[in-house]
Amino acid sequence: MSNELHWSRRERQIMDILHARKGVTAAEIRAAMPDAPGYSAVRALLRILEDKGHVKHRQEGPRYVYVPRASRARASRSALKRLVATFFQGSVTEAVAALLDSPDTKLSDADLDKLRGMIKQAEKEGR
């Protein structure tokens, strides 16, 4: 699943729909897309995503039902690694600092405790 951040806008929309709804048809995907392209364009995009190894399908009667090959968690980890490498020169510290510097970031005491615990665990593991 190496090309996740190389998805087109439409491919990303489709993957988001597939991760949100397990097992959907091309028609259902098209209905969920903003400013959706034609049905044949959606089918072509699904074929491209399948060729790239991101999507698989099963046949249910006359229809194909599509699902993502990787879990949302696995895909998001891969995308996050790529984001950190691309925009923060691989620095997790800079990426976290950018998130914490945002006025939109609101952390509860529980969030802070969880982060402290994760940092301690990373230290224990030598990361």
What pLDDT digit, counting tens, does each position of 45-59 carry?
A: 999 999 999 999 999
pTM check: above 0.75: no
What pLDDT digit, counting tens, does each position of 2-50 carry?
A: 445 577 889 989 998 999 888 999 999 999 999 999 999 999 999 999 9
Q: Do 61 and 100 share a domain, yes or no?
A: no
Q: How many domains does the chain have?
A: 2
The residue range of the domain holding 111 is 88-124
Query: Taking 80 as the threshold, does the pLDDT of residue 78 lie above it?
Result: no
Cβ burial 9-30 (10 Å sphere, 16+ → b, else e): ebbebbbebbbeeeebbbebbb
> Considering the domain boundaries, does residue 75 fall inside one?
no
> Considering the domain boundaries, does residue 18 fall inside one?
yes
Any bridge partners for residue 64, and if so which?
Answer: 59
> Considering the domain boundaries, does residue 73 fall inside one?
no
